[in-house]
Chains A and B, each alone.
Chain A
Amino acid sequence: MIDFLTTVFGLLGQIWLSALIDGQRTAFLLPAFIFIELSLLLVIVFGILHWYRHRQAFLSMPSTYHPRVSIIITCYGEGREIEKTILSFAEQIYAGHIEIIAVVDGAKQNADTFAAAMACRAWFERRHRNQPLRYPNRSYRVLPKWQRGGRVSTLNAGLHVAHGEIIINADGDTSFDNVTVALMVRHFQDPNVPAVAGALKVRNQTDGWVTRMQTLEYMMSIQCAKTGLARWNMVNNISGAFGAFRRDFLRKIGGWNTHTAEDLDLTMRIKAYFGRHPNLYIPFEPHAIGFTEAPATFKEFRQQRLRWDGDLLFLYLRKHKQSFRVRLLGIKNFIFTVIYGVLQEIILPFLIFLFTLWLFVIYPAGYAWGVLLFVYFLYLGQAVLMLALYYFLISERREQELWIFLWSPIYPLFAFFRKMWSMVAALYEIVGRGHEETSMAPWWVIKRGTKF
């Protein structure tokens, strides 16, 4: 693996050096930086088109497969927010049984969350003998973990008591569309599907520009990117806020593992079977949508990304560096993971930063600004293309989402900052082992986890 990286680095270094010597060619070398992005873009665009072509056939396929589904809702300090989540699962239009399990981590400290979870029992019970059940076919239980143990223990506790054939994990602050379960389950008809990735949207879209930008980002990186990638069985991550798994498969691979970014960890571990079981397939369902609370202020956003992007580096380059093998991932996912996971997410931010710095050092400011303007339009073009694909092919709420085009001109700036911030996060992880500062589990749990 390291050998491969040095090769890539070497290649890029040579391009870099020649550009340094012959400054006049810089402008022509620009696309080289976005070569990585462009290759991904193509994969995604064709993936979406392919998905769109087969969508109707998938939806109109008759189905009598309605297994019992267990929903593990991870609750911590959400308070009464979890009512929305529980209600949204109760409201599912699904012919089979849905078992809703609200696992409250640290139920003692989070007494209000626990009380809210207990209060929800009223929806699923009869007040008197002759009252028909409000939600027949739905059962609900609260699983309080009195001692706080972190997200992973919460999920595994839920998995331990779940009876459903399909397990769906959901965050306590995420509520779901009423077709979610039915659409997710539909994918499991194929016995080769061990897991399905679910889509997320921002619930508090209108809170401010930060949430507006994140809405656009989610649309591109989740709705578009995952739809396209999943078509080629290269889904990057099954979100921790919303994913579905076949219970037996999940139990066999040992459930969720400790450390942060347990979702990416689980995705990597499932993918590690792809080399040996080439038929395994992780679909993405863009119309099974969880609406989640995104950070509403810029500061919260920066903190969240510091964690996420740092965790990404920790996962790919520390915890799962052993997984970067063709034998495990299969050639397709190996290339993808390197390009997406390592080059785009980790190395590209550094390159962009250095390029911009170099641009201003070598060239007159006017020329540098000109180049950046060109880059801006390049990225704007990419964003508009993605948003258009999303809007016309994927969106299920077109009438409510036209505003995204209005906000798209700001998006490249936001994306640029995000890239720079992701570099800071990577540095922080490399130097300060940021992943160990997670708030996802208490320190006494983190301390005992295997060091990478």
Chain B
Amino acid sequence: MPNHSNGKPALLNFNEAGEAYDSDDKKPVILCLGKPDVHYSEAYSVKVLFDLAAFYDALPLYENLAAILLCQHAADEALPVIRQHPNTALILVFCDEPCLYPHDGNIPTEQQLTSAWQAWQQAYASYPELGKTHNPQDLLLAYLALRGDCLLTPERDLSSALSYRYPVLELFDLGDSQYFLKQAMRDELMSPVSLVDRVRQCTHCGHNKLNYVDLCPQCSSLDIKQQSAIHCFTCGHVGEQQRFMDGGRLVCPNCLTALRHIGADYDRPLENMECNSCQSFFIEAKVVARCLHCDHENDPSDLNIAQIQSFRITDKAKFRLRVALDERFSLDLGEQVSRDYLHWLVDWQLGLSRRHQIEFALLCLSFNRVEQAVDELGAAQVYRMIGQLGTQVKDRLRVTDVICQYEDHSYLLLLPNLPVDHLTVVQQKMRQLSQLVEGSSALDMAVSYYHAPSELVEGENGEFLIARLLAEASGHD
């Protein structure tokens, strides 16, 4: 809580008579941008601000914030700021103005507000670790979870690249929505509920404002026209019908034969398009999907296809909010590398191993029953076991070993320059781990190993290898 004795903005409290008064009590606060039409009793402390800058400044001030009411325009501007501020990201927001973003409904009566707030508080209580969350992704998951598994639904928006946007994702500033959702699906944090639409995107810029045009297959010119062509049997000349017209007759412009009888003197060849640029005849024009955004010409069958879906958060995501956000459930193994960097490192080591027979080992350490263990033994017991295991593992690592928390309860250890006979020692040590820590069998710890160059497989890359090790360790092979 910042010290706001000096920089405290001028806040106005209203009593029942509508008179402003100063109050510092611990009543739940309703922060209002603009004066609400609804009257709230003394049970709430109503703070009204008219200036947007002052409103933003007030966001971090209240710990016992019940709700925010947006009673004047600028809701579109204020709502993202509210959601991106860690203090107010999950708070109930009500708004009467039309708004680009989703909120919790129209300005409620006191009764409605009370019940909504109570429900919110109840939901909030089941996620005790939420207060520590600052990561926008977790805030988003929490936002959805606190609102009764609210769906993440797309909305039509012609100005966006895909013609659809996810307003909630925008609220939390999560970057490219498609990329985010793909990651979230891979991590099993979100699961699709229903397919809303399927849109085709430019392969170059990803926009879906495409214009399907038919072009000359020879020179790709746009300037083509339907043509009735005539084929003279006498000389084989094929040309535009207009050039054959001679008074009321058809005369071949090439051999000057009068063409009188269809099928006997002439016919209409199938080619019935002509290019005005290169004069070539063709049957079917080449159709391309030209991107109106970047002018890239796509083959219609090559276009990227994006599925526009609505999503809900998974149980795994809720578990993550409840448990995994708690750092005490993670092994404390010192400094770690990111997944992408691990991929790169493994690929590099594999490359070295192929070329120079460099030896290295990759270990996957996985706890497969943390969730159940928390339920069965209680969080405190699990904290203790994980803490002990972390210390044990850390003691056995060399300074040069690389660690990555690849998934919530899976760790990958890259042990460079490890001869194959040393690997058996490592394996032995790891096996001993569970015996050293009492009760740790409840976590169902499993370890899988890989050693290069002894297990080197042609064509295998880092990502494959890691996926295989993870699968082996988690038991679903």
Interface on A for B, CB 8 Å cutoff? 84, 87-88, 91, 93, 131-132, 134, 175-179, 182, 289, 291, 396-397
A182 touches B248 (CB 8 A): yes
A177 touches B228 (CB 8 A): no
Least CB distance from A127 to B in Å reads 12
B262 touches A179 (CB 8 A): no
Closest Cβ neighbor of B226 among chain A residues: A132
Q: How far is the CA of A132 from the CA of B260 in the complex (A)?
A: 24
Least CB distance from A111 to B in Å reads 25
Residues of A within 8 A of B264 (CB): 291
A175 touches B226 (CB 8 A): no
Known: A93-B249, A93-B250, A182-B248. A175 touches B260 (CB 8 A): no
B258 touches A175 (CB 8 A): no
Q: How far is the CA of A88 from the CA of B268 in the complex (A)?
A: 12
B260 touches A87 (CB 8 A): no
B263 touches A179 (CB 8 A): no
Q: How far is the CA of A88 from the CA of B226 in the complex (A)?
A: 22
Known: A132-B226, A134-B228, A396-B258. A93 touches B248 (CB 8 A): yes
Q: How far is the CA of A41 from the CA of B262 in the complex (A)?
A: 35
Least CB distance from A39 to B in Å reads 34
Least CB distance from B265 to A in Å reads 9
B261 touches A88 (CB 8 A): yes
Q: List 25 A-B contacts (CB under 8 A).
A: A84-B263, A87-B262, A87-B263, A88-B261, A88-B263, A93-B245, A93-B248, A93-B250, A131-B226, A134-B228, A175-B261, A175-B262, A175-B263, A176-B261, A177-B260, A177-B261, A178-B249, A178-B259, A178-B261, A178-B262, A179-B260, A182-B248, A291-B264, A396-B258, A397-B260
A179 touches B226 (CB 8 A): no
Residues of B within 8 A of A182 (CB): 248
Q: How far is the CA of A87 from the CA of B259 in the complex (A)?
A: 15
Closest Cβ neighbor of A87 among chain B residues: B262
Closest Cβ neighbor of A182 among chain B residues: B248
Least CB distance from A16 to B in Å reads 49
Residues of B within 8 A of A397 (CB): 260
Q: How far is the CA of A176 from the CA of B262 in the complex (A)?
A: 8
Known: A93-B248, A93-B249, A93-B250. A178 touches B260 (CB 8 A): yes
Q: How far is the CA of A197 from the CA of B406 in the complex (A)?
A: 95
Least CB distance from A15 to B in Å reads 48
Residues of A within 8 A of B250 (CB): 93, 178
Least CB distance from B468 to A in Å reads 52
Closest Cβ neighbor of B246 among chain A residues: A93
Within 8 A of A (CB), among B107-164: none
B261 touches A291 (CB 8 A): yes
Interface of A is mostly: loop
Residues of B within 8 A of A132 (CB): 226
Known: A132-B226, A134-B228. A396 touches B248 (CB 8 A): no
Residues of A within 8 A of B226 (CB): 131-132
Closest Cβ neighbor of B257 among chain A residues: A399
Residues of A within 8 A of B245 (CB): 93
Known: A132-B226, A179-B248, A182-B248. A91 touches B262 (CB 8 A): yes
Q: How far is the CA of A347 from the CA of B226 in the complex (A)?
A: 61
Closest Cβ neighbor of A92 among chain B residues: B262
Q: How far is the CA of A65 from the CA of B213 in the complex (A)?
A: 42
B262 touches A88 (CB 8 A): yes
Residues of A within 8 A of B263 (CB): 84, 87-88, 175
Q: How far is the CA of A237 from the CA of B249 in the complex (A)?
A: 28
Closest Cβ neighbor of B260 among chain A residues: A177
Within 8 A of A (CB), among B246-277: 248-250, 258-264
Residues of B within 8 A of A87 (CB): 262-263
Residues of A within 8 A of B259 (CB): 178
Residues of A within 8 A of B258 (CB): 396
Residue interface mask B224-248, A partner, CB < 8 A = 1: 0010100000000000000001001
Least CB distance from A25 to B in Å reads 52
Least CB distance from B250 to A in Å reads 6
Q: How far is the CA of A88 from the CA of B249 in the complex (A)?
A: 14
Closest Cβ neighbor of B244 among chain A residues: A93
Q: How far is the CA of A175 from the CA of B265 in the complex (A)?
A: 13
Known: A91-B262, A396-B260. A179 touches B228 (CB 8 A): no
Residue of A134, A178, A179, A289 contacting most chain B CB atoms (<10 Å): A178
Closest Cβ neighbor of A93 among chain B residues: B248
Within 8 A of A (CB), among B284-302: none
Q: How far is the CA of A176 from the CA of B249 in the complex (A)?
A: 14
Residue of B226, B248, B258 contacting most chain A CB atoms (<10 Å): B248
Q: How far is the CA of A281 from the CA of B49 in the complex (A)?
A: 102
Least CB distance from B230 to A in Å reads 10
Least CB distance from A452 to B in Å reads 40
Q: How far is the CA of A87 from the CA of B268 in the complex (A)?
A: 11
Q: How far is the CA of A289 from the CA of B261 in the complex (A)?
A: 9
Residue of A84, A87, A91, A134 contacting most chain B CB atoms (<10 Å): A91
Residues of B within 8 A of A291 (CB): 261, 264
Q: How far is the CA of A182 from the CA of B245 in the complex (A)?
A: 14
Q: How far is the CA of A420 from the CA of B262 in the complex (A)?
A: 38
Residues of A within 8 A of B260 (CB): 177-179, 289, 396-397
Residues of B within 8 A of A175 (CB): 261-263
Q: How far is the CA of A120 from the CA of B260 in the complex (A)?
A: 21
Least CB distance from B271 to A in Å reads 13
Q: How far is the CA of A218 from the CA of B261 in the complex (A)?
A: 18
Residues of B within 8 A of A134 (CB): 228
Least CB distance from B98 to A in Å reads 39
